[in-house]
Structure 1
C-alpha cells in the first residue's frame, strides 16, 4: 500500500483525533479513562492549532497517522495501532527531521516502546521532568537528535 504525507485541514481534525485516541489506547496504558477524556478536547480544540500538522494517508485517502511540529520540536507523532511496526513511524519521523527540521522530542517515560523507537532513530536523552506539562504525574524524557 502506498502512503502520502499531506498538510492537514481543520475539517480533518476529527479523523486526526480518532487516530490519536486509538494510538493512545494501544500504547499509553498508564493513562486512565479520565486522563484520555481530559486530553482529548485539549488536543482537538487547542493543541492541533499550535503545531505544523501533517497527516499520513493510505491509498484510499484515509488518515492513518499524523505528526505535529513546532519550533524544532516534534510535539506529536501517532499512528493507528494496526499500522505499528511497519516503518510508517520512521517515515513520519524522517519527514519531520528533513522537512520540518525537528531536533527534539519529549516522550512519556511510561511509554518504553516510544522511547526505544526514538533512541533507535538517533535521539539521545538529554533530560527528564517528573511531571508532564499539565503537571500530571507522568514523567517526561527530553530527547535530542544526535
Structure 2
C-alpha cells in the first residue's frame, strides 16, 4: 500500500534513508556522508512523503516529490528488488506524468532502474545540489 507519511514516522524514515544510502552510495566520502546525514535528519522527518508500507502499516520505502520533481526515492535494503521502488515511481507518475528526477552518476543501479522505468537522460551536472563533486544525471519520464 502507498500512503502519505505521518509526523510520528520520522525515526523509521531516517532508518530507511541511512540503510539505503549505506547500500548504494559507497562513493560518498565519510565526511560528506556525515554532513548529508545531518542535513537530511533536519528536514526529511517533516517532509511530505509518500510511503510504501507492508500489511502491518510498517514503512518499507519512501518517495519525496516537489512540484513534479522526485527529490528522493529510498527503499529499505531488505526490500530491494521486490518492486516497491517501482510501485512508488508508478504512483508518482500517476500524479505527475512528466516527472523528473536526478540521480548520482556513480549510482549505476539507480541509473539502470530509472532507465527501465522509462526515464530518459536530459542533462548532466558535474556537482550535486550542495556543490559537492558528485555528478548528477538529470532524467525525465517519457511515455
TM-score norm. by structure 2 comes to: 0.92
Q: Do structure 1's residue 139 and structure 2's residue 135 form an aligned pair?
A: yes
Structure 2 CA distance for partners of 1:98 and 1:141, relative to 1, 3 Å: same
1:42 and 2:39 are equivalent in the alignment:
yes
Aligned structure 1 segments of 4 or more residues deviating by more than 4 angstroms: none
User: How many pairs were matched up?
Assistant: 142
- 1:79 matched residue in structure 2: 75
Aligned with 1:144: secondary structure? strand
Counterpart contact for 1:74–1:103, Cα < 8 Å: yes
Q: Determine if the alignment matches structure 1 residue 13 to structure 2 residue 5.
A: no
Q: Partners in 1 of 2:35 and 2:81 — Cα distance?
A: 28
Offset of residue 58 of structure 1: 1.0
**1:26-82, CA deviations, whole angstroms, 9 ceiling, x for partnerless residues?**
011101332222112212212554x54111111122211000000110000000111
Instruction: Show structure 1 runs of 5+ residues with no match.
Output: none
